[in-house]
Amino acid sequence: MKPNKMKQIKKLLIIGFVWPEPKSSAAGGRMMQLISIFKENGFEITFASAAQDSNFMVDLSEFGVIKKSIELNSSSFDDFVAELNPKVVLFDRFMVEEQFGWRVIEKCPKAIRILDTEDVHCLRTARQKAFKENRTFKIQDLLSEEVAKREIASILRCDLSLIISEFEMNVLKDVFKINEDLLFYLPFLVDEMKEEELLKLPSFEERKHFVFIGNFLHEPNWNTVQYLKEAIWPSIKKDFPEAVLEVYGAYPSQKVLQLHQPKNGFYIMGRAEEANEIVKKSRVVLAPIRFGAGLKGKLLEAMQCGTPSATTSIGSEAMHRKLSWNGFIEDDPTDFARKAIALYEDENLWKQSQKNGIEIINKCYQKSNYSSQLLSLVNSLIEDSESHRLHNFMGNLLQHHAFKSTMYMSKWIEAKNK
């Protein structure tokens, strides 16, 4: 029996909220990292999504991944998933699990169900709400957050959830009392970086300008650019008149484009075709993020590009395990502006910040430290999901009740659409 088991093709179905756009967002890069891990370990991968195609989506066939368009609230998905019969189904965000999870359970009850949270959405929404109400966020805010009820239910229904931030791991365990067996800490994953690699990157003298990069469909990014323009950039320009800030980002709206002010050194540049190349040529990344969750892909990318960054305590949250930051962390706008100028002008400080970034990359984001653990855990779940599920009574309870309502609502929508 065992040799035959080894020969069986392990099929992974990923159901995406959107098609991956690694050049547009950190979420797209994260998804491609997951695809790479499973592909390298012999999984046959199908990526399905109900989203519209976009001009910037990655060509999945180049990575040996089968692309499948699916429909919301349609029994055509039932036939598709039953025929595919995957060993593992990975849901990209809890909203996707709500839509398709019950169908997977109905047609492929033995399939291991994994949720990639991207970030804990209820943490982001609760912080955003507190920010807009001009008050300090308290961890108890999460308990009254409507999104939290849906998101935590989704985590409980799945066999395993991938959590990108250690801060969020602690929130899920301490605030929501989630069993640790249902969670796996999986940060961004990159290759080791050696100090000599800095010599291949543009030098301090070869770089110029401050830069910000972020997808504008993501509310914290838009808020960051507003904050830069209104509270920080005037102070920087006052003490450093020749300063220039280039703001890049996918999907800029008209309100973003209206901030373009070349006379004031504030440039809205639009989409970055090659974000890496832009960051490598810039001297300092500015990211005074005021609310959000998860890890900030733009700040890890800055480290990989040897570009020091200036951010806030929210921006750096769970990113560096108390190691020295590759630049500075500052929440006061006046001090932020002053330190940004110092980081831009002081070559010794700048070079030390670069080295700090390499230490963070190598100690916090090594692919080899996490990928084998993840695959080992997934394979053990494939071998024996029954005992794992027996110990998740709350998840079984939620499946029994919540899925009945989701199922009938979906079937009602499908019947209405006919």
Q: Give 294-345 pLDDT, tens digit per residue.
A: 999 999 999 999 999 999 999 999 999 999 999 999 999 999 999 999 999 9
Write down the pLDDT at residue 402: 59
Residue 404 binned pLDDT confidence (cut-offs 50, 70, 90): low
Predicted pLDDT at 2: 46
Residues 166-204 have pLDDT tens digits of: 999 999 999 999 999 999 999 999 999 999 999 999 999
pLDDT at 403: 61
**In 158-296, alpha helices (H):** 166-174, 219-227, 233-239, 254-257, 275-281
Tokens, residue 161? 């959830």
Q: Do residues 142 and 171 touch, judged by C-beta distance below 8 A?
A: yes
The pLDDT of residue 174 is: 96
User: 91 pLDDT exceeds 80?
Assistant: yes
Question: Residue 1: pLDDT band by 50, 70, 90 thresholds?
Answer: very low
Percent of the chain whose predicted confidence (pLDDT) is above 90: 87
pLDDT at 136 over 80: yes
Confidence of residue 414 (pLDDT cuts 50, 70, 90): confident
pTM of the model: 0.93
For the cut 50, the answer to whether the pLDDT of residue 48 exceeds it is: yes
Q: What is the pLDDT of residues 142-171, one digit of tens each?
A: 999 999 999 999 999 999 999 999 999 999
- Is the distance from CB of 110 to CB of 133 less than 8 angstroms? no
**If DSSP codes are grouped into helix, strand and coil, which group holds residue 222?**
helix
Written as one string, the DSSP assignment of 274-294 is: THHHHHHH-SEEEE---S--S
- Cα–Cα distance, 285 to 308 (Å, whole number): 6
The residues with which 329 forms a beta bridge, in sequence order, are 311
**402 vs 351: CA distance, rounded Å:** 54
Contact criterion met (CB below 8 Å) for 94 and 117: yes
Name the residue with higher pLDDT: 391 or 4.
Answer: 391
Stretch 19-33: mean pLDDT, rounded?
94
